[in-house]
């Protein structure tokens, strides 16, 4: 149960950071924190008591292992998070250039 | 909306969300639950039908191979997207001058950091290559190793060799790696259609599990993903570093 609660806490604290942020880079990193909750959630879903890492390089076949499907999903999750962060940081650079500000509240007005 | 009103709205919404989430996770499987059938089946398929000892790679490149193709294309498109966003105003000569200026300012960086950065470049390249090429055997693979290989760019930056980096003109090379890796993955997928039963189906010799050349197409896919990820991450890092140079210079 504890890992699940940690995941919930990470999501909420990340969202809190996004909502109260005063800097776009800080905002992007808070989003990364919120997304980290999904890693914890997935790994907790896949974990089994006494399960070894699902690598059979030095394990005899049939050893109880944790769920490799969930681990592969987590890998996908990490990759998507990296791409989202890269794109958002690129957008931050553009916003800073165009509007001269990285304060999210200063970017509310539409400009042609 | 004012900051205060937003905070109040967020606070109320968070309480509701927290209650919903906690009651939702209470239903999720505990560590003491029996493993799902998919876990056992995927393990045995990777191990016995694909002869790969890293079952996570087996799932990623065999059972979920098609998803991984999409995932790789997401990375490809995102790298291109950030390059397009950041490259709007770039002048090679200006960059070259900015790089030299940055190197001249660099003595302010501790020499220990510069030496360590330069020293670690070669071992990082070797380790990254090892992680990429052994993904079917041990933990690691194309994604993980690719990030390590691209990370050497940051070491070069830490070592204060921006001028050397600009002279290498890594843009063309990393773009090529990005495109080649993505194309190779797609070709292997089509190869499954041509030489075997379905897209991404194995059409190479499986070899002996645990040997370097084993796992059939998993090995090829690992390496092509490694090349693509190296290119994509290096492209993003390079664009962001250029922005730093333009700002400083």
Please tell me the total count of domains within chain A: 1
pLDDT at B106: 61
pLDDT at A62: 82
Element (DSSP H or E) covering residue B43: helix B37-44
Q: Name residues 2-61 of chain A within 8 A of B (Cβ).
A: 4-5, 7-8, 11-12, 15-16, 19-20, 41, 44-49, 51, 53-57, 61
Record: contact B25-A7, CB cut-off 8 A: yes
> Does A96 contact chain B (CB < 8 Å)?
no
Is position B109 within any domain? yes
| Positions in chain B short of pLDDT 50 | none
Is position A112 within any domain? no
In the structure, what pLDDT confidence band is assigned to residue A36 with cuts at 50, 70 and 90? Answer: very high
B contacts of A93 (beta carbons < 8 Å):
85-86, 240, 243
Instruction: Look up the domain containing B49 and give its range.
Output: 34-248
Record: contact A67-B79, CB cut-off 8 A: no
Is position B117 within any domain? yes
A contacts of B38 (beta carbons < 8 Å):
67, 69
Q: Are B151 and B236 in contact (CB under 8 A)?
A: no
For A87, the closest of B3, B82, B143 (CB atoms) is B82
Please tell me the total count of domains within chain B: 1
pLDDT at B24: 93
pLDDT digits (tens, 9 = 90+) for B98-150: 777 777 776 567 788 888 888 899 999 999 999 999 999 999 899 999 999 99
Is position B180 within any domain? yes
Residue of B nearest to A62 (CA): B44
Is position A99 within any domain? yes
Burial class (CB in 10 A: 0-12, 13-18, 19+), B221: buried
DSSP 8-state code for residue A3: H
Is position B44 within any domain? yes
Quote the CA–CA distance of B15 and B76 in Å, as a whole number. Answer: 38
CA torsion through residues A112, B5, B7, B13, sign: negative
Instruction: Look up the domain containing A54 and give its range.
Output: 2-107
Is position B22 within any domain? no
What average pLDDT does chain A have? 90
- CATH number of the domain enclosing A62: 1.10.287.3510
Is position B9 within any domain? no
Is position B6 within any domain? no
In the structure, what pLDDT confidence band is assigned to residue A2 with cuts at 50, 70 and 90? Answer: very high
Is position B64 within any domain? yes
> Does A77 contact chain B (CB < 8 Å)?
no
pLDDT at B107: 59
A45 pLDDT exceeds 90? yes
pLDDT at B226: 95
Distance from CA of A102 to the nearest CA of B (A): 15
A112 pLDDT exceeds 70? no
Q: Are A86 and A80 in contact (CB under 8 A)?
A: no
pLDDT at B223: 95
pLDDT at B116: 87
A28 pLDDT exceeds 90? yes
């Amino acid at each position: 149960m504890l890992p699940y609660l940690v995941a919930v806490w990470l999501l909420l604290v990340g969202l809190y950071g996004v909502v109260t942020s005063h800097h776009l880079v800080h905002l992007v990193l808070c989003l990364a924190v919120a997304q980290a909750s999904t890693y914890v959630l997935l790994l907790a879903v896949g974990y089994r008591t006494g399960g070894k890492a699902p690598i059979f390089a030095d394990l005899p076949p049939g050893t109880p292992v944790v769920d490799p499907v969930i681990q592969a999903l987590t890998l996908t999750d990490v990759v998507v998070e990296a791409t989202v962060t890269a794109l958002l940081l690129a957008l931050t650079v553009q916003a800073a250039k165009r509007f001269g500000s990285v304060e999210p509240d200063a970017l509310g007005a539409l400009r042609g | 909306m004012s900051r205060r009103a937003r905070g109040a709205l967020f606070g109320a919404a968070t309480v509701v969300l927290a209650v919903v989430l906690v009651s939702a996770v209470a239903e999720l499987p505990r560590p003491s639950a029996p493993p799902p059938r998919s876990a056992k089946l995927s393990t045995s398929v990777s191990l016995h039908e694909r002869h790969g000892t890293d079952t996570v790679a087996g799932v990623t490149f065999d059972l979920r191979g098609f998803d991984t193709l999409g995932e790789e294309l997401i990375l490809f498109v995102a790298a291109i997207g950030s390059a397009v966003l950041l490259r709007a105003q770039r002048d090679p000569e200006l960059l070259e001058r900015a790089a030299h200026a940055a190197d001249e300012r660099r003595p302010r960086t501790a020499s220990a950091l510069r030496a360590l950065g330069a020293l670690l470049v070669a071992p990082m390249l070797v380790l990254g290559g090892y992680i990429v090429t052994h993904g079917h055997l041990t933990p690691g693979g194309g994604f993980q190793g690719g990030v390590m290989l691209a990370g050497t760019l940051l070491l070069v930056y830490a070592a204060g060799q921006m001028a050397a980096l600009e002279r290498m003109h890594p843009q063309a090379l990393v773009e090529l790696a990005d495109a080649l890796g993505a194309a190779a993955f797609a070709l292997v997928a089509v190869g499954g259609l041509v030489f075997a039963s379905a897209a991404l189906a194995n059409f190479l010799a499986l070899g002996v599990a645990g040997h370097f050349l084993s796992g059939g197409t998993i090995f090829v896919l690992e390496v092509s993903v490694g090349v693509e990820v190296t290119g994509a991450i290096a492209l993003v890092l390079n664009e962001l570093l250029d922005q730093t140079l333009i700002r400083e210079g």
